[in-house]
Chains A and B, each alone.
Chain A
Amino acid sequence: MESFKADVVIVGAGGAGLRAAIAVAEADPGLAIALVSKVYPMRSHTVAAEGGSAGVAQAHDSFEHHFNDTVSGGDWLCEQDVVEYFVAQCPQEMVQLEHWGCPWSRKPDGHVNVRAFGGMKIERTWFAADKTGFHMLHTLFQTSIKYPSIKRFDEHFCADLIVEDGRAQGVVVIGIASGEFMLIEAGAVVFATGGAGRVFRENTNGGIVTGDGMALAYRHGVPLRDMEFVQYHPTCMPGTGLLFTEACRGEGGFLLNKDGYRYLQDYGLGPAEPVPRNKAMELGPRDRLSQAFWHEQQKGRTIEGPHGSVVHLDLRHLGERKLRERLPQIYELAEEFLGVDPAKTPIPVRPAVHYTMGGILVDGSCAAPLPGLYAAGECSSVGIHGANRLGSNSLAELCVFGKVAGIEAARFARTVSPSAAATLQKQAQASEHRARAIVAKSDGTERIAHLRKEMAETMERGCGIYRLGDSMQATCDKLDELRQRYKNIGIEDKSSVWNSNWLMAIELGFQLDVAQAMAYSALNRKESRGAHQRLDGFEQRDDEHYLKHTLALFDGDGRPRIDYSPVRITKSRPAVRAYGAAGEQAEKEARHG
């Protein structure tokens, strides 16, 4: 098989992967970088992020505040030393993007503007209209073109990780256009493959968000951490799950039930003021808002639509001019996809799966327990999101930890020498053989689309906004069954050129493994925390038993093994997580007490 020798191979060319590639190129222009992506870089799902990216920007704000918002937002399941590092780096990374040309929205005097975001005490979300992720991604991609040492492998699908001599030494990729395999050898491997939201049915994610890197690391013995924490975004389009950014509420939008009532005030997020105050009402954190929706639905106070219950996102009072300026994309989405003019009519919305807080276990320097493997971005669990991510922390994470991963991987790559090429080749060939077996198999009877649908449905049922032991168990059982049935899939497409049928089958294999890690991690956490909320006798947070990270370990055909590891607490002791007036009260007491 053809091979390419790199010093560092980066899998994923979204925000995290591109930032990592640039970091390697800047750290040492002599290192050969291979940047692999199954889609052209600008198609990566970072492109869809709308609202903004966090970084302390105002004089009355501080790293301390950003730290506290993040840790309490994560229900104290964060690695606090990592969060400290993170908040301190964010502003610098945002400025770096500015120097690279990111068209941040500006104040009249030419300074970069910031907006309010859910769960953030002070406005610190940098934004480029409502296309922040798009602009960040294109800025990073176009900037990356400047560095000759970055060799891109666009539309190359990573099918396996090569582990030899106890460390990661490269990847096996499929050229999508030709269907041919290639071995990319490298001293260090960085995974930046994004999240796994598409294991659920209604979600805000793109078709490519299938947890590939997570599954590959996991299959090679790296634990997946905190996989039970899956974020539901409260304001999504019914049916498709497409997102209406939190910035809609940051700009002053209301959430109304069928009586036109701002129901969030009934769920400890009040008082309802005409302009939502930071960390209150519509600007509460996502987990709380999605949970409030669920309760309203139970009480019969939601509105019935063709795609299930909805509430109204009301932007009318903001006026057409402001909406066109600050939320142009949202305006178009509502008009074109729903036929709703948001300046005249409220937008129907419901929660959908949005973000995977958990991921590949890495330490603060983005290193996985497997030497030579690094991870950054949504596929990783570096420890800043805990049990619930705050909006706009993740785009910032891509930059801060993309850079760390790049620098650390470069450093590592310089210290090692590769194993014999022949051994690596042999592994790669075995891997090719396994992947080709899916196409070669002629007697399979299961259709991948149907398995995928069953998986998404059972995940929604068992691992939704609220969870019950029984239904989680049922989901675990169902996933065990689907993994067995997966062995019997049959695909129609037997060709080589652009065979997406085959790649989707491989992706489904990844998804099933990741889904299983999520469901078993959820089943085993017998408490409620952040995005993991139970209604079967474990409604409270239980710091005594569960102030710890879940680790899911791959066990071949069997169920994942579930283990736990301590949470690193430096300066914020777990306290009551309160928002709205109650939150302000609690904060006051904490300051005086």
Chain B
Amino acid sequence: MADKTITVEVLRYRPEQDPAPEFQRYQVPFSDDMSVLQALLYIKDELDETLSFRWSCRMAICGSCGMMINGDPKLSCKTFLRDIHPATVRVEALNHFPIERDLVVVMDDFIDKLERIQPYIIPAEPRSLDQGAYLQTPAQLDKYEQFSSCINCLLCYAACPQYGLNPTFIGPGALALLHRYNADSRDGASAQRMELVAAEEGVFNCTAVGYCSEVCPKHVDPANAVNQNKTTAAADYFARFLKPKGSGK
């Protein structure tokens, strides 16, 4: 089946023995339908059991397998060797995150941010189960659906130089999710979330590089969420001067 081979260079880092990360090369036999993830699995099974990386679903939905592939942040399960051959595949841990080991990054920071954006419905009008589901038209659904498709793969963070330079920035993925809840017709807590949007770690860190949306494997377009919120945050800011003190929400 596999008659060709491809060179795979992996950035290795084993904190208990390596002072700093270094590349290691492997030769992997491959067929045209093999993904980069399958190449890594081959290495782990047959060549080097010590290589560590995250993966699970193999179908671009669990968000585990993000890594830098030849310089770009990608999901290794949906990047195919046939598109790289005969060049070398060069894989590294996702940029802008500390490397825990090999291709595994420390992602506590993202989880922290996710927890801070209040990623749950705070209902505008609470409903009991007996009252049944809320009505939501396809047009209302369309307002946030795209932003709800984020698989938390962190590719956009690896694509965002502003996050790399200033890790306190909430960043594209979490802001897209924040916007997802603000744009949901069932939710009533935008005002609360807007505080974070406008805060020092909020949307104004973004300089519209736009690469985050380019690399997003799920067409979430996080840059859009961020930039829509710049407008909203700015409008909110000026509206404050127009409104009499103590009025409204």
Contact = CB atoms under 8 A, between A and B. Distances in A.
Interface stretch (B19-27, B111-119, B161-169): B111-119
B57 A45 contact: yes
Nearest to A49: B61
A243 to B, nearest CB: 8
Nearest to B57: A206
Given A39-B64, A497-B16, 12 more contacts: A48-B57, A95-B129, A100-B121, A131-B61, A206-B62, A207-B56, A306-B1, A306-B33, A337-B33, A495-B14, A497-B15, A501-B44
Interface stretch (B84-92, B146-154, B204-212, B221-229): B146-154
A42 B62 contact: yes
Contact of B56 (A39, A95, A106, A239): A39
Nearest to A502: B49
Contacts of A243: 59
B36 interface: no
A454 interface: no
Contacts of A96: 129
A492 interface: yes
Given A47-B62, A101-B181, A242-B58, A92 B129 contact: yes
A78 B119 CA distance: 38
Nearest to B110: A40
Contacts of A45: 56-57, 62
Contacts of B61: 47-48, 131, 134, 329
B14 A497 contact: yes
Nearest to A138: B148
A149 to B, nearest CB: 14
B186 interface: yes
B244 interface: no
A103 interface: yes
Interface in A480-500: 491-493, 495-500
Contact of A43 (B48, B62, B120, B121): B62
B46 to A, nearest CB: 7
Nearest to A209: B56
A333 B78 CA distance: 9
Most buried by A among B15, B33, B62, B64: B62
A110 to B, nearest CB: 4
Contacts of B5: none
Contact of B52 (A44, A48, A135, A499): A499
Interface of B: 1, 14-17, 31, 33, 44-46, 48-50, 52-64, 78, 80, 100-102, 104, 106-107, 111, 114-115, 118-121, 123, 127, 129, 132-138, 140-141, 144-145, 148-149, 151-152, 177, 181, 184, 186-187
Contacts of B123: 99
A35 to B, nearest CB: 13
Nearest to A126: B133
Could you say which interface size class chain A belongs to?
Answer: 35 or more
Given A206-B62, A208-B56, A110 B136 contact: yes
B33 A239 contact: yes
Nearest to A99: B127
B129 A493 contact: no
A337 B48 CA distance: 26
B49 A501 contact: yes
A307 B58 CA distance: 17
Contacts of A499: 52
12 contacts: A40-B152, A42-B152, A106-B138, A106-B141, A108-B137, A111-B133, A154-B111, A239-B33, A240-B58, A447-B49, A492-B50, A498-B100
Interface string A96-121: 10111101111111111000000000
Contacts of A332: 60
A456 B25 CA distance: 29
A43 B63 contact: yes
B151 A493 contact: no
A142 interface: yes
Contact of B50 (A112, A207, A493): A493
Question: Which of B1, B121, B152 has the most A CB atoms < 10 Å from its CB?
Answer: B121
A48 B59 contact: yes
Given A110-B135, A449-B44, A131 B50 contact: no
B126 to A, nearest CB: 9
Interface string A122-155: 0000000001001100100011011000000010
A154 B181 CA distance: 24
Contacts of A338: 33
A177 interface: yes
Interface in A219-249: 239-240, 242-243
7 closest residue pairs by CB, A with B:
A110-B135, A449-B45, A206-B56, A142-B119, A492-B49, A101-B121, A498-B101
Contacts of B187: 101
A44 B132 CA distance: 29
Given A110-B136, A135-B148, A492-B48, A333 B129 contact: no
A206 to B, nearest CB: 4
A336 interface: yes
A207 B120 contact: no
A498 B104 contact: yes
A145 B119 contact: yes
Given A111-B133, A491-B49, A40 B107 contact: yes
A40 B28 CA distance: 30
B22 to A, nearest CB: 16
A223 to B, nearest CB: 29
Contacts of B132: 95
B55 A207 contact: yes
Nearest to B79: A336
Contacts of B80: 336
Given A101-B181, A131-B149, A177-B100, A106 B134 contact: no
Contacts of B52: 498-501
Contacts of B141: 103, 105-106
Contacts of A100: 120-121
Interface string A533-558: 00000000000000000000000000
A498 B114 CA distance: 23
Nearest to B56: A206
A457 to B, nearest CB: 14
B26 to A, nearest CB: 14
Of listed A43, A104, A177, A333, residue having the most chain B CB within 10 A = A43
Contacts of B1: 306
A154 B187 CA distance: 28
A99 B134 contact: yes
